[in-house]
Amino acid sequence: MTALRERLGVQSLRAGGFFAWWGRSLAAWLPRSWRAALGLDRGRLLLGVDGDSLQLRLQDGDGLHDIGRMPLPTELEVEGGDVLAAVLSPALAELPRWLLLPAGACLRRRLVLPAAAAERLRDVVGFEIDRQTPFAAEDAAYDARLLSRRDGDGQLDVELVVVPRAALDAQCNALGAQARLLAGADVAGANGEPLGVNLLPPATRFAPSDPWRAWNLALAGVAVLALAAALWQMLDNRRVAADAFAVVTGRQVEAARKVSVQRQRLVDLVQGQAFLDRSRSGRATTVEVLDELSRRLPDDTYLEKFALEGDRMTLIGLSSEASALVGRLEGSKLWRAPAFTGALVPDPRTKRDRFTLVAVLVDTGPDAGDADGGDDANRR
């Protein structure tokens, strides 16, 4: 953090100090005319009391410029009036006004402070006034400026600038009502250039209204509205895209559902056909069953009904040898367990017995044949 502060060259890395430094650094890349037009480098108006006259100077990016002298306004101004605004151009009259004290009016002391003092430099040097100057803290107007930072230990070389409060009050009283418009009080150096300190207490510094405040508020409002509109438009676009996606997804889901139903139907058909094929491949065909019956039934027997339902064979008919039919049908490889389902009923018209006989069709595969053979042997 200390190295970063040294690179930045600022006293504080708090949000306000950083953005102020950042703004000044960006503004330094602009031409002076642009900075003046944007109000970034307007400079300041320096007021110096010299006897009975008031010396006016302009300090901007090009240095110091003498504007002129005028009598002290204490006897010329109207109560509450602004004499400088009447005699200066509007561009100069709107500049921040600073009282410039002569070089001999202040006492300067060099101090070495720890790097942490940079956060509250003015407050820290306030505790050094009693030790470094012959003045008490309440009887002096003071400020401090950072001279350099030491590379080895990061300590600060600071200059304490102190002016007796009585001397500062005398200068302010000489200005009369103009003193209430002062934004600060600086001290001239040995070369006449201001040191860059502000000896006025923060509570008495005049803060002129920002001419760009209304524009800034208006632009901030426009920016907020534009951001809200952009966010609303983005949300609306996302909502429309979501609706379109839902429609497309719904169509795809419906198509997938239809395909799934058709696929399931096809699977059921294939499985059913495979089951029928397996069932048919393990049992005798109808022709084989009829052929086997025609060879086993007597010639005087004829059928009124022949039915195959699953693995059940049903025979209904008339025969002169009905009681012997079960014995004739036993031992077949195509069915097993032939039996009458009811009593034999004589038919007076044909002189034969009516019968109803059932049997169970068996699997004609090799394994089933062995099993059936074993069953037949057991039955015998």
CATH number at residue 175: 3.30.420
Structure-token match 């405040």, residue found: 213
- Please determine, for residue 325, whether its predicted confidence score (pLDDT) is greater than 70: yes
Neighbour count for residue 57 (Cβ, 10 Å): 20
Domain assignment present for 65: yes
How much is the pLDDT for 279?
A: 65
Q: Within this chain, do residues 171 and 264 fall inside the same structural domain, yes or no? A: no
Q: Within this chain, do residues 57 and 86 fall inside the same structural domain, yes or no? A: yes
- Please determine, for residue 335, whether its predicted confidence score (pLDDT) is greater than 60: yes
Total domains in the fold of the chain? 3
Q: Quick one: average pLDDT of 348-371? A: 76
The last residue of a domain, from among 208, 224, 244: 208
Q: CATH number, domain at 374?
A: 3.30.1360.100
How much is the pLDDT for 190?
A: 81
Q: Within this chain, do residues 235 and 292 fall inside the same structural domain, yes or no? A: no
Structural domain of 191: 42-208
Domain assignment present for 27: no
Q: Within this chain, do residues 261 and 337 fall inside the same structural domain, yes or no? A: no
Domain assignment present for 18: no
* Per-residue pLDDT reduced to its tens digit, 39-80: 566 788 888 888 888 888 888 877 888 888 888 765 545 444
- Please determine, for residue 241, whether its predicted confidence score (pLDDT) is greater than 80: yes
Q: For residue 304, give the 3-state DSSP assignment.
A: strand
How much is the pLDDT for 234?
A: 94
Domain assignment present for 37: no
Q: Within this chain, do residues 218 and 299 fall inside the same structural domain, yes or no? A: no
CA distance 53 to 202: 27
Q: Within this chain, do residues 55 and 171 fall inside the same structural domain, yes or no? A: yes
Q: Quick one: average pLDDT of 306-311? A: 86
Q: Within this chain, do residues 340 and 370 fall inside the same structural domain, yes or no? A: yes
The last residue of a domain, from among 281, 311, 339: 281
Q: Quick one: average pLDDT of 99-120? A: 87
Hey, which bits of 1-92 come out as E strands? 44-50, 53-60, 63-71
Q: Quick one: average pLDDT of 4-18? A: 45
Containing 170, the helix (H) or strand (E) segment is helix 165-175
Q: Quick one: average pLDDT of 265-291? A: 80
How much is the pLDDT for 8?
A: 42
Spatial strand order of the sheet with 140-149 comes to: 107-113, 156-164, 140-149
Q: Within this chain, do residues 90 and 143 fall inside the same structural domain, yes or no? A: yes
Q: Within this chain, do residues 184 and 225 fall inside the same structural domain, yes or no? A: no
Q: Within this chain, do residues 105 and 241 fall inside the same structural domain, yes or no? A: no
Mean pLDDT, the chain, integer: 81
CA dist 3 to 76, 95, 115, 151, Å? Answer: 54, 36, 11, 9
Structure-token match 């009050």, residue found: 169
Q: Within this chain, do residues 245 and 196 fall inside the same structural domain, yes or no? A: no
Domain assignment present for 355: yes
Q: Within this chain, do residues 234 and 203 fall inside the same structural domain, yes or no? A: no
Q: Of the ranges 28-42, 50-64, 353-367, which one carries the lowest mean pLDDT score?
A: 28-42
How much is the pLDDT for 9?
A: 42
Q: pTM score > 0.85 for this model?
A: no
| 348-370 per-residue burial string, b: 16 or more CB within 10 A, e: under 16 | eeeebbbbbbbbebbbbeeeeee
Nearest to 172 by CA among 163, 182, 162: 182
Residue 263, CB-side half-sphere exposure with 13 Å CA sphere? 6
CA distance 45 to 58: 5
The two tokens of residue 368 are: 């089933």
Domain assignment present for 194: yes
CA distance 192 to 214: 37
- Please determine, for residue 370, whether its predicted confidence score (pLDDT) is greater than 60: no
Q: Quick one: average pLDDT of 117-136? A: 86
Q: Quick one: what percent of the chain has pLDDT higher than 70?
A: 80
Q: Note whether 301 and 316 are within 8 A (CB).
A: no
- Please determine, for residue 35, whether its predicted confidence score (pLDDT) is greater than 70: no
The last residue of a domain, from among 265, 281, 297: 281
Q: Of the ranges 58-62, 168-172, 264-268, which one carries the lowest mean pLDDT score?
A: 58-62
